[in-house]
């Protein structure tokens, strides 16, 4: 459990760790990750205390704390119409390679997860957050099936309907009589 | 004619050169706008028999954007005149061969189908990228406003702006950011 | 052999048939080929030409109206407004200028036309006509408060 959670970032910890300890640790990630826990060594006389201290997430300073009392998810609480071109908002829900984060990480409700997921896909296809996608790099140009996607595409988000809220009360529409 | 009179004369009758940046624009939507300037329909002195159209220089035609599936589904018909000479070319195939053709066809189709059309098309100058010859660029005096707002991509923002932007959602306590 | 009765079979059309035909030949000077010289063809083609001229007089009125509307649209778009809203605004302000006068003003009196555009914009904005908001903020310094609501 402990070994799985910790990650060591060379940039963060070089100054703190002696060389002997950094050599015996496993590098779990190649790209520069943000450390969840920071290893702090303190010496007290003959005792060496190594403790893992939780670090603040990089978003803590700019986090928008809005209506935190309500039970709704973060995006519902915000009550703002997000378009697929609002890249600065959508980029908060993606991994480094451009893929959408799962619901357990984002903490959104099912409805908003689907909407934001659709909009991230649209923004990727429309070329607004594109260069991190791995497939473009991996794809063999002679075997590409989707040749038509190499040119620019834009999406009109008035065409995407928000997914149906399954918990909304059903409206009874009376059948119109044909006679 | 006074000097003022001459200015008014040139202001009214001179053939203006307009610039249109087709980056991220839909050619089928912007075709009518460009055709309007080529025919002279933007001038109160318009008459179909007087050649009052202006020149339009369209740049970045290789960067046009079509909505959704249109690159695959929009087709252009051509018949050579010989038996079995019919062909349907998809938009992306045409754009591959000549990056200015889709825009050119959009403008041609949008224009009134009179005998003047071929002459008006001669005043349309299309360039796939931003490289325009100096002789043409010196004449350009006006820019036609693009119809579609071009949304800034993530890479148009600096890292500072991205960091300073308020965050809606924070990562969970034990999540490792990859 | 002599056939004295043959001369009696010829129809006597009258002494001024030349002049009657010449009435129509005068109209065919600009026709093409035999249509201007041969009587039977002249008869048909002159009739067609006159019919077309009659229909054309009605068409010309429509064409002139369309041309004037095109010119007015162009002049209105120069000021950032739209022609349907312009017409609506003028009607609401009870400015009943017809298309001929408006087209002439748009060419020869540009500042007057600009003032009319501003008037129409302000009036439609005040009356909250559908579609005005998309044109943006109306121009300032337009006195419409003295206009009585029609």
A31 touches chain B (CB under 8 A): yes
Predicted local distance difference test score (pLDDT) of residue A9 = 45
Residues 115-144 of chain A with CB under 8 A from chain B are 126-131
Angle (CA) B63-B65-B69 rounded to 5° is 140
Q: How far is B161 from chain C (nearest CA, A)?
A: 30
C67 and B43 within 8 Å at the Cβ level: the answer is: no
Q: How far is C40 from chain B (nearest CA, A)?
A: 34
Q: Residue B108: pLDDT above 70?
A: yes
Question: Under a CB-based contact definition with an 8 Å cutoff, are residues C119 and C144 in contact?
Answer: yes
Q: Residue C130: pLDDT above 60?
A: yes
Residues in chain C: 150
Nearest to A163 by CA among A124, A108, A118, A101: A118
Buried b (16+ CB within 10 A) or exposed e, B109-126: ebbeeeebeeebeebbbb
Helix, strand, coil percentages (3-state) for chain C, rounded to 5, are 65, 0, 35
For residues A119 and A112, give the distance between their C-alpha atoms in angstroms, rounded to a whole number.
10
SS (H, E, C) B102-139: HHHHHHHHHCCCCCHHHHHHHCEEECCCCCCCHHHHCC
Buried b (16+ CB within 10 A) or exposed e, C117-136: bbbbbbbbbbeebeebeeee
**Which segment of A72-76, A140-144, B74-78, B113-117 scores lowest on mean pLDDT?**
A140-144
**Which segment of A99-113, A114-128, C124-138 scores lowest on mean pLDDT?**
A114-128
- Best mutation target among B30, B151, B168 (most A Cβ atoms within 10 Å) is B168
Predicted local distance difference test score (pLDDT) of residue A21 = 40
C77 touches chain B (CB under 8 A): yes
Q: What does R_g of chain A's alpha carbons equal in angstroms? A: 23
- Residue A32 CB neighbour total at 10 angstroms: 12
Question: Under a CB-based contact definition with an 8 Å cutoff, are residues B92 and B102 in contact?
Answer: no
Which chains, if any, share at least 3 CB pairs under 8 A with chain A?
B
Q: Residue A139: pLDDT above 90?
A: no
Predicted local distance difference test score (pLDDT) of residue B27 = 96
Predicted local distance difference test score (pLDDT) of residue A14 = 44
B170 touches chain A (CB under 8 A): yes
Rounded mean pLDDT of C118-134? 94
CA distances from B7 to A116, B1, B3, B12, C55 (A): 56, 10, 6, 9, 42
Question: pLDDT per residue over C11-57, tens digit each?
Answer: 777 888 999 999 999 999 999 999 999 999 999 999 999 999 999 99
Rounded mean pLDDT of A112-120? 89
C71 and B45 within 8 Å at the Cβ level: the answer is: yes
The region, left, alpha or beta by phi > 0 then psi within -120 to 50, assigned to residue B88 is beta
Pairing status of strand A152-154 against strand B65-67: parallel
Question: pLDDT per residue over C83-107, tens digit each?
Answer: 999 999 999 999 999 999 999 999 9
As a whole number of Å, the end-to-end CA separation of chain B is: 75
C67 touches chain B (CB under 8 A): yes
Q: Do chains C and A touch (3 or more CB pairs under 8 A)?
A: no
- Residue B103 CB neighbour total at 10 angstroms: 27
Q: How far is C37 from chain B (nearest CA, A)?
A: 31
Mutual angle of helices C99-108 and C110-126, in 10-degree steps? 120
Find the closest chain A residue to B162 by CA distance.
Answer: A88
Q: Residue B173: pLDDT above 50?
A: yes
Confidence of residue B149 (pLDDT cuts 50, 70, 90): confident
For residues B9 and B1, give the distance between their C-alpha atoms in angstroms, rounded to a whole number.
9
Q: Residue A11: pLDDT above 60?
A: no
Predicted local distance difference test score (pLDDT) of residue A4 = 39
Rounded mean pLDDT of A131-157? 65
Where is mean pLDDT largest: A3-12, A47-56, A61-70, B69-78? B69-78
Predicted local distance difference test score (pLDDT) of residue A148 = 79
CA distances from B86 to B75, B80, C99 (A): 12, 7, 47
**ipTM rounded to 2 decimals:** 0.86
Where is mean pLDDT largest: A34-48, A156-170, C66-80? C66-80
Give B175: exposed, middle or buried? Use CB within 10 Å, 0-12, 13-18, 19+. Answer: middle
Position with higher pLDDT, C8 vs A105: A105
Mutual angle of helices C83-92 and C39-78, in 10-degree steps? 80
Confidence of residue A46 (pLDDT cuts 50, 70, 90): confident
Q: How far is B163 from chain C (nearest CA, A)?
A: 34
B44 and C107 within 8 Å at the Cβ level: the answer is: yes
DSSP states along A55-98 = PPPTTTTTB---STTSSS-HHHHHT----TT-HHHHGGGB-TTS
For residues B46 and B48, give the distance between their C-alpha atoms in angstroms, rounded to a whole number.
7
For residues B91 and B75, give the distance between their C-alpha atoms in angstroms, rounded to a whole number.
6
Position with higher pLDDT, A122 vs B124: B124
CA B103 to chain centre: 6
Predicted local distance difference test score (pLDDT) of residue A155 = 76
Residues 124-143 of chain C with CB under 8 A from chain B are none
Predicted local distance difference test score (pLDDT) of residue C97 = 96
For residues B101 and B91, give the distance between their C-alpha atoms in angstroms, rounded to a whole number.
9
Rounded mean pLDDT of C143-150? 72
Rounded mean pLDDT of C103-131? 96
Predicted local distance difference test score (pLDDT) of residue C13 = 76
Q: Residue A19: pLDDT above 80?
A: no
Q: Residue A24: pLDDT above 80?
A: no
Confidence of residue A6 (pLDDT cuts 50, 70, 90): very low
For residues B71 and B56, give the distance between their C-alpha atoms in angstroms, rounded to a whole number.
25
Position with higher pLDDT, A18 vs B168: B168
């Amino acid at each position: 459990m402990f070994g799985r959670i910790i990650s060591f970032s060379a940039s963060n910890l070089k100054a703190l760790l002696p060389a002997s300890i950094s050599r015996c640790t496993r590098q779990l990630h190649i790209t520069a990750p943000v450390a969840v826990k920071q290893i702090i060594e303190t010496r007290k006389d003959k005792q060496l205390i190594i403790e893992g201290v939780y670090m603040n997430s990089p978003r803590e300073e700019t986090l928008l704390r809005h209506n935190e009392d309500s039970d709704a998810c973060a995006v519902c609480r915000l009550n703002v119409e997000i378009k697929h071109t609002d890249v600065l908002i959508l980029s908060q829900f993606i991994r480094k390679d451009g893929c959408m984060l799962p619901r357990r990480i984002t903490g959104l409700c099912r409805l908003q997860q689907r909407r934001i997921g659709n909009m991230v896909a649209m923004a990727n296809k429309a070329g607004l957050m594109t260069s991190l996608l791995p497939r473009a790099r991996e794809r063999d140009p002679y075997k590409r099936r989707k040749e038509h996607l190499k040119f620019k595409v834009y999406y009109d988000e008035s065409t995407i309907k928000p997914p149906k809220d399954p918990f909304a009360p059903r409206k009874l529409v009376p059948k119109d009589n044909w006679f | 004619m006074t000097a003022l009179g001459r200015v008014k004369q040139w202001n009214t009758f001179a053939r203006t050169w307009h610039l249109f940046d087709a980056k991220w624009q839909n050619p089928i939507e912007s075709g009518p706008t460009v055709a309007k300037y080529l025919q002279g329909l933007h001038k109160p002195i318009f008459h179909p028999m007087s050649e009052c159209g202006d020149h339009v220089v369209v740049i970045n035609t290789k960067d046009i954007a079509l909505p959704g599936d249109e690159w695959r589904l929009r087709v252009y018909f051509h018949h050579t005149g010989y038996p079995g000479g019919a062909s349907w070319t998809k938009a992306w195939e045409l754009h591959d061969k000549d990056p200015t053709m889709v825009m050119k066809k959009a403008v041609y189709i949008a224009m009134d189908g009179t005998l003047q059309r071929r002459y008006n098309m001669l005043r349309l100058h299309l360039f796939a990228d931003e490289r325009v010859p100096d002789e043409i660029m010196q004449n350009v005096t006006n820019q036609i406003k693009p119809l579609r707002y071009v949304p800034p991509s993530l890479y148009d923002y600096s890292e500072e702006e991205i960091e300073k932007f308020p965050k809606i959602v924070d990562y969970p306590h034990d999540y490792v950011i990859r | 052999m002599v056939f004295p009765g043959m001369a009696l079979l010829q129809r006597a059309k009258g002494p001024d048939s030349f002049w009657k035909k010449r009435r129509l030949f005068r109209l065919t000077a600009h026709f093409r080929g035999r249509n201007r010289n041969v009587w039977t063809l002249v008869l048909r083609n002159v009739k067609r030409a006159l019919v077309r001229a009659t229909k054309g007089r009605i068409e010309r009125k429509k064409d002139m109206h369309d041309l004037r509307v095109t010119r007015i649209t162009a002049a209105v778009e120069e000021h950032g407004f739209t022609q349907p809203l312009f017409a609506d605004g003028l009607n609401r302000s009870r400015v009943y200028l017809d298309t001929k006068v408006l087209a002439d003003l748009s060419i020869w009196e540009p500042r007057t036309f600009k003032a009319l555009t501003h008037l129409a914009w302000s009036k439609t904005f005040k009356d909250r006509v559908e579609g005005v908001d998309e044109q943006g903020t109306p121009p300032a310094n337009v006195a419409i408060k003295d206009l009585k609501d029609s």
